[in-house]
Amino acid sequence: MKLIAKSAVVLAIIAALLSFVKFENCRSNGWAPPADYIHACYSDLPALFGERGLITNTWPYSSATNAVEYPPVTGVVMWATSFFVSDIVSDLVGDNGNKYRNYFDINALLIALLFIASVIILKKLKPQLWYLLPVAPAVVASLYINWDIWAVVSALAAIYYFDVGKYKISAIALGLSIATKFFPIVLLLPIALILFRKSKVKELIIYLVITSATWLLINLPFIITTPVGWFRFFKLNSERAADWGSIWHALEIFGLKISYLNLISIIAFAILALAFTLFVFGIPEVPTLASIAFFIVAIFITASKVYSPQYVLWLTPLAILAMVDKKDRLDFWIWQFAELIYHFAIWQYLAEVAGAEFAIPAGAYATAILLRVAALTWFCLRIMRRSTPKFGPQNLEFLSGVGQGYP
C-alpha cells in the first residue's frame, strides 16, 4: 500500500487503461445494439457524435430540437473534439475513416487525463483513502460512458479551495463545474450552511455572487446567440418522465405510476435537504465541505428523475471524502458492489429491450434499481452514524430517531 500511495498517477493510469479495455469490444466492432449492451460497453461519446450532428462539426446549440442535452462547457468540449476527427486524421492512424472510433479515442484520452487530475486532488483532500477512487470497480466500469468527469474535477477543486479558505477561487471553480454538468449546484447548500455557521455572511454573499457571475459569464454567449438550443437542456429535464435508474422508474415498472412527478421529486429533494440541513446544524463543530458534500449529492441523485450508471463518478470521490477512516472501507465495497450489479443490470435490460435473445426482464432491472438506491442510502447513514462521535451525540439521536430534541 505504501508503494501505491507514492504514485497516484500510476494507479489512475492503470484504472483508465482497464476501463478502456472494457470498452474495447464496442470500439473494435462498432457501437450497435444489442451488442453494445450485451458487452456493457455502450458509450454516449460515439452515440451523440452522430445523433447530434457533431460528425459534421455542427455547432451543438444550433438546433431547437437536436441541440446537445448538456450545459455549455460540455457542449463545447463535444464540439471542439469533433475537429480532431477527420478523414486526414483517420488516414494518418490507418483507421479507414472510422470517425466514431477516433472521436471516442480523443475524448477518452481527455477523460483519462481529467481522471488522473481528480485522483491527485483527492489525494490532497484525503491522503489516507484516495486510492479507493482508482480501484473502485463501478468507477472503472463507467469512466468512458459520458463526459461527467469534466464536472467532477472542477467540483473537487471547488471543495479543495473552499476547505483551505480560498473562497473566491472555489466559487470560480464551482461556477465552472455548474456550467459543465448542472449537478454541482447542490453544493451551494452545504457551502451556505458552513459559512452561515461561521458567521461569514459577507463571504457567503461574495461566494454566491462570484459563482453566479462565473456561470453567467460562460452561459451568456449561448443565451444571446442560440437561446433555444441553449435552453433545450433545461426543457428536456423539466419534461422528462421517470427515467433510467431512478427510483421513480422502478416504481413504474412495478406498476406504481407517480402523478405530478416533477413536483413530487422536488418535494422529495426539499424534505431530504431539510433533514440534511438539520443534521449539519446539529454538529457541534462546523464540518468541512469535503465531509458533507457526499450526502447532499446523494440526496439530489436519489430524488432525481434519472440516475444514470455514470453518476457513480460523481458520488465515489465525495463518498471517499466523507468516510471517517479505514473502518468504512467494508461499507464502501458493499456499496460499490451494488453499483456494479446495477451497472450490468441496466445494459442487460437494454439488451432485452433491443431484442437480444438472452437478457434480464424488467422486474429484475427494477430490483437492481431499488438495491442500488438502498445501498446508497445505507452507506450514507453508516457514514453519518460513524461521524457522530466526532461531530457530537446530537446527530446520533437525530439519525436513530430517538432524540428528545434537536438543537
Give the pLDDT confidence score for residue 284 in this predicted structure.
84
Task: Please write the tens of the pLDDT for every residue from 221-235.
Answer: 999 999 999 999 999
Which residue range is the domain that position 326 belongs to? Answer: 2-400
Nearest to 385 by CA among 375, 371, 374, 399: 399
Mean pLDDT of all residues belonging to the chain:
91
In this structure, is residue 407 part of a structural domain? no
Integer angstrom CA distances of residue 259 from 238, 249, 305: 14, 12, 13
CA 308 to chain centre: 9
Number of domains in the chain: 1
Contact between 70 and 143 under an 8 Å Cβ cutoff? The reply is no
104-108 contact pairs (CB < 8 A, 24+):
104/23, 104/27, 104/43, 104/45, 104/46, 104/49, 104/144, 105/27, 106/81, 107/45, 107/77, 107/81, 107/144, 107/147, 108/20, 108/23, 108/45, 108/144
Nearest to 385 by CA among 302, 324, 318: 324
Give the pLDDT confidence score for residue 394 in this predicted structure.
41
Contact between 315 and 335 under an 8 Å Cβ cutoff? The reply is no
pLDDT band at residue 291 under the 50/70/90 scheme:
very high
Q: Is the pLDDT of residue 406 over 60?
A: no
Give the pLDDT confidence score for residue 154 in this predicted structure.
97
In this structure, is residue 233 part of a structural domain? yes
In this structure, is residue 406 part of a structural domain? no
pLDDT band at residue 91 under the 50/70/90 scheme:
low
In this structure, is residue 284 part of a structural domain? yes
Task: Please write the tens of the pLDDT for every residue from 180-232.
Answer: 999 999 999 999 999 999 999 999 999 999 999 999 999 999 999 999 999 99
In this structure, is residue 327 part of a structural domain? yes
In this structure, is residue 308 part of a structural domain? yes
Contact between 242 and 261 under an 8 Å Cβ cutoff? The reply is yes
Q: Is the pLDDT of residue 375 over 90?
A: yes
In this structure, is residue 405 part of a structural domain? no
In this structure, is residue 340 part of a structural domain? yes
